[in-house]
Amino acid sequence: MIRKVFAATAVCIAALGCSPKQDGPAAEAEQGLEYCARQTERTLAQILPAGYGMSPKNIAPGDSAWNLYPVSKELWTEGFFPGILWYDYEYTSDEKIRKAAEKYTEALEFISRIPAYDHDLGFIMFCSYGNGYRLTGNEKYKEIILATADRLASLYNPAVGTILSWPREVGNFGGHNTIMDNLINLEMLFWAAENGGDPKYAEIARSHADTTMKYNFRPDGTSYHVAVYDPETGRHIRSCTHQGYSDNSMWARGQAWGIYGYTMCYRFTYDRKYLDFACRIADVYLSKLPEDLIPYWDFNDPAIPDAPRDASAAAVVASALIELSGYAEGEKGEGYLTTARKILASLYGNYRGGDACPAFLLHSTGHHPAGSEIDYAIIYADYYYIEALMRLRALGGKE
């Protein structure tokens, strides 16, 4: 992939009331990454005494300490902190951070040995072991990723053409359920197929992406959170929501997973349909954002403008757009990078935890309909924020 030289964007970013450095992508990234490194030190100081088996998940509004949860199959978020540590180690080269990254990663090894219980295996194991393998080449990590990919593939139903996202919810939804978030877990399957795993993992990933494209999206490019299918015949039964405002609304993080997911599918397949689709659903999302580019948790919540935001969706999209900017041609690609930089400037300017809170970002929404994690700092927002900054940094210093 040839990276492009991007047009100046300082004026647009300044219009947001933020003040990123005007020396190009790498300098903007540097400012954010220095901040992340400081916050990571603070987080480690708080959580290390609890041991590597306790995972930071969220911080309530006004609080200054992470809520810790034991790593277990009840959690889907335990891969993000080790992933943050790997990115922070990549940036700082600090051996203390590397040691912590290894320990928090290795606390998740048990996941590769138990039968698949949920689609989130990719989030858990590829953010942690995936980044660890990328940076260290540790063969044991690769084995663990391949074993987990095999577990994840066992949730694939060929009659439907997708992975079952939530085995425990089959009764509640009335069938085989597949959610938008599941797209992210395909990354581990595509990677495994190229790195010694069964080549059929890539076919599963493609089939899942194609079926999701058909049934988790409306003709206008907005997404449904969930699609439900007859597990025997594969017939599509209905599309609906779980974490969004309503069956017909656009849940912000669901759309964000889609933008990120189809961009990633293009990375592995070079199939133009994924690139075109990623652009289409990104354009829909971007066209409906509020002025500061950080979405409300659901684009159709009637409480807008008093509805909570979701900084996590913004971080996911910023990271995705930086990658997408390298694939989309001409001005379109340049526009995605400009927008990603504006989103990151907005997050840094007005959504950061700062001195009051060790999280990188505040103001994310986990599961609004369940009344859970509304306006919280949430660990996955931080993961995609630091990933986006590392991607931005990799573009170099030139405008």
Of 298, 290, 288, 222, residue with least CA distance to 259 = 222
Determine how many CB atoms are found less than 10 A away from the CB of residue 69.
Answer: 16
Give the x/- contact pattern for ligand GLY in 363-392, rule: CB under 6 A.
---x--------------------------
**Residue 37 C-beta: closest distance to ligand GLY, Å:** 26
Buried b (16+ CB within 10 A) or exposed e, 162-173: bbbbbeebeeeb
Q: How far is the CB of 145 from ligand GLY (least distance, A)?
A: 19
Q: Identify the CA nearest to 323 among candidates 305, 301, 307, 339.
A: 339
Residue 106 or 310: the one with the smaller Cβ distance to ligand GLY is 310
Residue 78 binds to ligand GLY (criterion: CB under 6 A) = no
H/E stretch holding 332: helix 330-350
Catalytic residue flag (residue 120): yes
Task: Say which of 23, 88, 118, 181 is annotated catalytic.
Answer: 181
> Whole-angstrom Cα distance, residue 97 to residue 103?
10
Nearest approach, Cβ of residue 343 and ligand GLY (Å): 18
Three-state secondary-structure class, residue 279: helix
CB of 129 to ligand GLY, least distance (A): 18
Catalytic residue among 88, 94, 118, 120: 120
Helix (H, G, I), strand (E, B) or coil at 373: strand
With CB under 6 A as the rule, give the number of residues binding ligand GLY.
Answer: 5
Q: For residues 44 and 252, which CB has a smaller minimum distance to ligand GLY in the complex?
A: 252
Closest CA to 298 of 310, 286, 311, 290: 310
Helix (H, G, I), strand (E, B), or coil: what is residue 153? helix
Q: How far apart are CA 293 and CA 360, in angstroms?
A: 18
State in angstroms the smallest separation of the CB of 142 from ligand GLY.
Answer: 25
Q: Is 298 in the site for ligand GLY (CB under 6 A)?
A: no
Answer yes or no whether residue 253 interacts with ligand GLY by CB under 6 A: yes
Name the closest residue to ligand GLY (Cβ): 181
Degrees to nearest 5, angle at CA 340 with 2 and 125: 80
Query: Of 28 and 181, which CB lies nearer to ligand GLY in the complex structure?
Result: 181
Quick check: is 181 catalytic? yes
Cβ closer to ligand GLY: 161 or 366?
366
Decide: is 301 part of the binding site for ligand GLY (CB under 6 A). no
Nearer to ligand GLY among residue 97 and residue 307 (C-beta) = 307
List binders of ligand GLY among 327-366 (CB under 6 A).
Answer: 366
Burial of 115 (0-12, 13-18, 19+ CB in 10 A): exposed
Q: Does residue 82 contact residue 105 with C-beta atoms inside 8 Å?
A: yes
Residues 225-244 that bind ligand GLY (CB under 6 A): 243
The reply on whether position 181 binds ligand GLY by CB under 6 A is yes
Shortest Å, Cβ 367 to ligand GLY = 6
Active site residues: 120, 181
- The binding site for ligand GLY (CB under 6 A) comprises 76, 181, 243, 253, 366
